Structure 1
Amino acid sequence: MTTNAGSVTTPKEKMRATLKHRYAAEKRFQAYGIAAILIALAMLVTLFVTIIGNGFTAFQQYTVHLDVTLYPQDIDPDGTGDPEVLSKANYQSAVNDAMYALFPEATDRQARRAVRELISPGANYVIRDMVMDDPSLVGQRISVRVPLASEYDQVLKGNVDPVVDFTAFKEGSTSVDWSLSPEERLISEKQADYLQQLIRQGEVEASFNRWFFTNGDSRQPELAGIWGAAVGSMFTLMVTLALSFPIGVSAAVYLEEFAPKNRLTDIIEVNINNLAAVPSIVFGLLGLAVFLQFFGMPRSAPLVGGLVLTLMTLPTIIIASRAALKSVPPSIREAALGVGASKLQCIFHHVLPLAMPGMLTGTIIGMAQALGETAPLLMIGMVAFVVDIPGSPLDPATVMPVQIYLWSDSPERAFTERTSAAIMCLLGFLILMNAAAVLLRKRFERRW
């Protein structure tokens, strides 16, 4: 065949041109896929680098060494050792006297106020906890390290302007940018001089921030910790797991193995699938209306949070469990029934063990989803400022995502680094949960 241009086009040449075009399209599609993966990885790396870059300094805290004298007339005048008396004693005066001893030249009111502001306003609680644990400390002179106030801590970490070089400060060279206006300065020149004097005396050092892992929430960022939120999350997940797993698996087994296939079960199946796509805040509104207003259950309690998250995770667990049951070959059921097993024996002795890895995977994924939820818990009051560590699922508590939300809304720079550090801890726990799902699947997986 000859074209108008004089070129010869044969069926073989047409086939080669078509194949060339198809191969080029396939290579372009592969390139698009690789580009998409690279972009996703870049976004993920950017996210982790940003979070780690902002949060790793929260695991370190600058502290000040103090020699505190616990005078009995101030702490326990009657010498009874009553815990209530010890908890309400005046520890602040003992802390202030220890700070004044480091700066004997600070005699006027303004200078002493600057001295007191060097350490955390919650330093007296550190002393109080020590005395509550060991009442025999009353009347003694104890050596203790208390956290530096958040402003100075952030300055020494280089997280805010003006940035202070810790080494230069220790050597006596002040590297504060005093070109900033007084309104823009985080610390004054007098405060910088006092801080430098503390560092040169060797009273300031950086140490592992144990308070971040052992304390509950606090208005003072240097004393704020995630332990209260972690315990609240643990209680909430325990309630969620105790309810959602047996209910979800039982519902899946009945719908897949026993329920007749009719219009009613079709409606139930459609509704379960739709519930999996319902926004989580709707479940929070449901919990607010049913559990709090109708049943009168305690607000901001892990028990109520677990009930709300149970409603939210049930569709996920039911769908995953039904998929795991469907993946079991029909020959397993036929063989069990063929040797005389009852329907119940067939399900519980043969089908469920084979479907259990998929069920456990779906349950852990549902628990991981519940761990990261914030909106439904905000609706039932778990956004409250809770300082005490909850002792049971009925005590007021908060959870990790809500704690992160509260800290992110705080204006202090020290809460910004603690927000990122809490996100790191939450992501680490989620990674562990997903790794546990993979390990359980490998552990219980059976091949046929």
Structure 2
Amino acid sequence: MQQSLSEGQAFAESLLRPWVAYQVLIILGVFVAAHLLRRWIGPPVRTWMASRENWPKWRMRVLVVIHQRLRAIIFVLLIWAVVLAMREFTWPSRSYLLSLVATLASAWLLVAFATRLIRSVFLRRMVRYGAWVYVTLYVLGIVDETAELLDAAAINIGFMHLSLPLVVQGFVILGCLLAAARFITVSTSARIQSNEDISPSMRVLIVKVVQVVFYAIAFFVGVRALGIDLTGLAVLSGAIGVGIGFGLQKVVSNLVSGVIILLDKSIKPGDVISLGETFGWIQTLGARYASVVTRDGKEYLIPNEDLITGQVVNWSHTNNFVRLDIYFGTSYGCDPHQVRKLSIAAAQGVERVLSSRPPVCHIVGFGDSSVDYILRFWITDPTGGLTNIRGNVYLALWDAFKEHNISIPFPQREVRLLGEDQPLDMSDASSKSPG
């Protein structure tokens, strides 16, 4: 402690030397010059960036980061140029403070660029500030002294020794490991998703396993960096796990059901399913639920357990062929052979109806006022909607029947109004008279 105070006093006294004051003024001048250059160069650079419309996103993100740190970049370049000039024309001792500031500025700039890889704002700031503090102490050569000073306020919990440097170090390491785990999982996921040789369900399963493994490794290594002994928590975590297991039965059931769905490949992203009143296609398969998007834009989060235990209609399980049926009737005066031919030809003229599996039309009954038919046709894109293709086929039938004078009957009723002053039927009156 006394040594640290004496070193601090010596450093303060060194600031009063003339050449140290000159170096401080030079640093301030370089900062002002960097600020002015940033204001002069910044707008043209931003305009040039806005004109790069066809560039990849990653390149534009790099340019945005560079533009945000343009003042620091200019300052680092100018300060190092001044340091090199001072070393060339004067003694090294007269550029010591400049070299120190240049080294610190360069290190801070590298830390700022490196931490931009961390997506989480909280983790990014935590790692950035922790790294800035450590780099500053390291460049100044007072890491050990600072650690000894802060270690005096350490807390002992059983066999665990917690000090502020250890906690900061652990959180920085944990943040870096989580960022690295996320970077690895995102890169791996992109490669797996682009591999057409792997089925969609297996891609999701592999991505989930990779995420769990890397995040678990990052968490345990980060916790160990904090000095926490995980073996002592084994019994406690087991007891807590049993209690949580009873309270989270549904959650665990959904997790297990999600793994089963991914393994048996019964449902995969992109499939068109019907579950009760819900009809849509699966957008994503999560660990707890499946996201199903309907034609009207609603997104249903269906628990995985319901997909296992409920009756699910998968319209595209083994293939994308879907058969649709529509019913109609014509009058008894129309030739049924002509009606069948016209119906098939009208359905074949609709855009999404398959010609490789031609439509068929059959008589299904003789109704009270019409001959009833069923028209069956196939499509391969159920995600494009079912109601709209049925409507298009109905419209094609209407046009074809109207062109060939095929009538579609409808119930007709005749209503007669009886007046109150009608003569009484004498036969009925005589039958009701007594005797």
TM over 0.5: no
Q: Which category of TM-score, normalised to the shorter sequence, fits these structures?
A: under 0.3
**Normalized against structure 1, the TM-score is what?**
0.20
TM-score by length of 2: 0.20
Q: Could you say which structure has the larger radius of gyration? A: 2
Between structures 1 and 2, the one with greater strand share: 2
Structure holding more helix per residue: 1
